[in-house]
Amino acid sequence: MTWLPAHRWHAGSFLEFAQVQPASAVMVTLDMFAEPQEHPDQLRMQALRAQLHQHAHQYYVLDTPLIPDAEYDRLFQELQALEAAHPEWATPDSPTQRVGGKPLDQFASVRHAVPMLSIRTETDTESSGAQAFDSRVRRELELTDTDPAVEYVAELKFDGLAINLRYVEGVLLQAATRGDGETGEDVTQNIRTIGQIPLRLPADAPAVLEVRGEVYMRRDDFETLNERQRARIAQGEKGEKTFVNPRNAAAGAVRQLDPAIAAQRPLSFFAYGVGEVAHGGPGNARFTTHMELLQTLKKWGFPVAEQVDTAQGAPELIAYHQRIGALRDQLPYDIDGVVYKVNSIALQQRLGFVSREPRWAVAHKYPAQEQLTTVLGIDVQVGRTGKLTPVAKLAPVFVGGVTVTNATLHNEDEARRKDVRVGDTVIVRRAGDVIPEVVGVVPKPEQPESERGPVFTMPRICPVCGSAAVREEGEADYRCTGGLFCGAQRKQAILHFAQRRAVEVEGLGDKLVEQLVDAGTIHTLPDLYRLGLTALASLDRMADKSAQNIVTALEKSKQTTLPRFLFGLGIRHVGESTAKALAKHFGQLDAIMDASEEALLEVNDVGPIVAKSLRTFFDQPHNREVVEQLRACGVHWPENEPTSAGPKPLAGKIFVITGTLPTLGRDAAKDLIEAAGGKVSGSVSKKTSYVLAGAEAGSKLDRALELGVAVIDESTLMEMIHGSM
């Protein structure tokens, strides 16, 4: 007699068994058909898996987590413990199986049930590329001009690695690379580590389903990965390297033999099609359109790019290509084009294939964002703020829609990390309006190291003005210390000096400064105060009245305050509050210029970096020369005794400023009052000591007269500050 374990019996299996056994050999007992009683731990494991699958979908695909990370970790750890206690109940679709498995010696080959064919590439990157594809489709379908437009689905063309995911009875059993289209590599262990890819599908999914899509790496994840790699390299870990671009990093992670290492690489996934479905192709049962297919995949838990859209005919394909092109650099991941597919599955079948490429689909590229070229030299440019930037001079190359001859190396550390040298073949990247950069060097195995150019070293003097170039502790950049003297920083220095929060030259804006500097009228700050009506009136779009207004504003700006003048010098790390603290502590500019680092450190708001920056600035003879020339031109300010010399003349007094003062702006008047120990308020009250009133004073003056608060003018204020009252 033949027996089967009771827990394996059900009605169907009994009928199958009975058909092949003689009647006398079959003994039936009632408990054979009783439902097996599952253990509470087994039921809990099933519930945990369902919960974790749902939360993973919410987190990785929908980006709307329902529970905190700590709660997810708790549920995950509970499932791990139960599976360790009951390994016989572990399942391949368990969330715990995302990271697991032993390192492989090599990848097994996988023959695709449905070939992973490539899509024809439209090399015409202009709008005419979309028009050409639509014309081909209409010609193949024998449509006339009077027939309606063909409906397409337009998608993004991701710059990643194509993957085929095979599900049987709803469980992910295998993941394979495209390979040659017929045969790929089994990378299941690594693909399981991607949180966006479901390990189990809903009950309404086909018995056999192959989902095709792209494994990629987001740009922010790529930068984080490279930062981690750089840290490991700095710590001396052997075998570590940085990655050239997100695509290479993603491909390297997918083909990593150790899944534990692959799990450390932040990968993402987008679905865009199917291979085998049930026991046939994608058009035989469930889907009538490609858009319906994508929406169904999304319903089953697969991420689908939100930019997918339908398009009626060539005009809407062109509009899509242009719209995505404008958004390309804002996307969090790289794309190199868009893909157009005929939406109707029936029309796809009519169109068929040619040379193993579907007639019903095309990839419409954008101009390449990366190209190879040769480094002809490395120059150093000085920016408006004094930053020194190494720039690779390149053999001209067309990349990102323009011809590129220069590319930034960012700083000395980056140039050395990438080991860019003259004569190297390099990958150059340009995305949209982003400054072209050298991504990495393409090694030449046949070239000995001794035949390469010298390692780049940043010069220690400014190539423009010859001032010292310094690199502050904790910073990556070298900077020129000749701020007031350096020709490269001239425009920035003038605009900073003339701004409202500094000495304030009303009407002196970017365009006017650009004209004055480009014409050679102004070379340093003192040249501002040597301007006359004739020089100003000769500039483009500068009328006599406008020229006179600038001359008047310059004359007015000569009376300022020590904090505003100090801030206006543009000393690195010296902001408004630091300038005020320095003026209050030392009282006089000469005392600040001559103070040692130790003396500067006694000032509130001044630390080692600021003290060193001040000393470096005033140790440059040409910076001191500019200060003396400004003084000689009539720029002046009240100076006081140091803080330790005694009480301030306006200590304890509260002022309110209203109206237009004869020579002082409101900010300058406020600085003078505060430097003399007073406070400035925005409203008049019984606590107000004085109202400083100028021309066209408003309601604050009325309020002061109503409350009997003393009203003074600018000259009275100056007498109070200088002790004449």
In sequence order, what DSSP letters do the residues of 187-232 get, joined into one string? -HHHHTT-TTS-SB--TTS-SEEEEEEEEE--HHHHHHHHHHHHHH
For residue 251, the number of C-alpha atoms closer than 13 Å in the C-beta half-sphere is 13
Name the CA dihedral angle for 539, 544, 548, 550, rounded to a multiple of 10 degrees: -30
With beta carbons less than 8 A apart as the criterion, state whether 226 and 173 touch.
Answer: no
Name, in order, each residue with C-beta under 8 angstroms of 20's C-beta and a sequence gap of 6 or more: none
In sequence order, what DSSP letters do the residues of 626-642 get, joined into one string? HHHHHHHTT-B------
Name, in order, each residue with C-beta under 8 angstroms of 304's C-beta and a sequence gap of 6 or more: 270, 271, 272, 294, 295, 297, 298
Identify any residues that bridge with 393 across adjacent strands, giving them in sequence order. 377, 406
Q: In whole angstroms, what is the distance from residue 373 CA to residue 437 CA?
A: 12
Q: Which of 102, 157, 584, 687 is catalytic?
A: 157
Which tokens hold the place of 539? 């500039």
Name, in order, each residue with C-beta under 8 angstroms of 432's C-beta and a sequence gap of 6 or more: 328, 329, 400
Q: Which residue has the tokens 């050298």?
A: 438
With beta carbons less than 8 A apart as the criterion, state whether 157 and 386 touch.
Answer: no
Q: In whole angstroms, what is the distance from residue 62 CA to residue 56 CA?
A: 9
With beta carbons less than 8 A apart as the criterion, state whether 115 and 181 touch.
Answer: yes
Q: Please, is 99 exposed, middle or buried when counting C-beta atoms within 10 Å of its C-beta (0-12, 13-18, 19+)?
A: middle
Handedness of CA 440, 444, 448, 454 (dihedral sign): negative
Closest CA to 278 of 289, 286, 270: 286
Which tokens hold the place of 28? 């039936």
At residue 399, what is the residue type? V
Q: In whole angstroms, what is the distance from residue 621 CA to residue 571 CA?
A: 14
Handedness of CA 23, 26, 31, 32 (dihedral sign): negative
Which tokens hold the place of 314? 């060539």
With beta carbons less than 8 A apart as the criterion, state whether 175 and 186 touch.
Answer: yes
Q: Is 157 a known active-site residue?
A: yes
Report strand pairing: 309-312 vs 151-158. Answer: antiparallel
Q: In whole angstroms, what is the distance from residue 561 CA to residue 503 CA?
A: 8
At residue 581, what is the residue type? A
Report strand pairing: 690-693 vs 710-712. Answer: parallel
The Cα angle at residue 68 between residues 62 and 71, in degrees rounded to 5: 120
> What 3-state class would DSSP assign to 404?
strand
Identify any residues that bridge with 289 across adjacent strands, giving them in sequence order. 344
Q: In whole angstroms, what is the distance from residue 211 CA to residue 198 CA?
A: 11
- Angle between helices 246-254 and 219-234 in degrees, nearest 10: 80
**3-class SS letters over 525-580:** HHHHHHCCHHHHHCCCCCCHHHHHHHHHHHHHHCECCHHHHHHHCCCCCCCHHHHH
Q: In whole angstroms, what is the distance from residue 216 CA to residue 197 CA?
A: 12
CA distances (Å), origin 621, targets 35, 387, 563 = 95, 20, 22
Closest CA to 288 of 339, 340, 342, 338: 342
With beta carbons less than 8 A apart as the criterion, state whether 427 and 372 touch.
Answer: yes
At residue 636, what is the residue type? H
Residues with catalytic annotation? 157
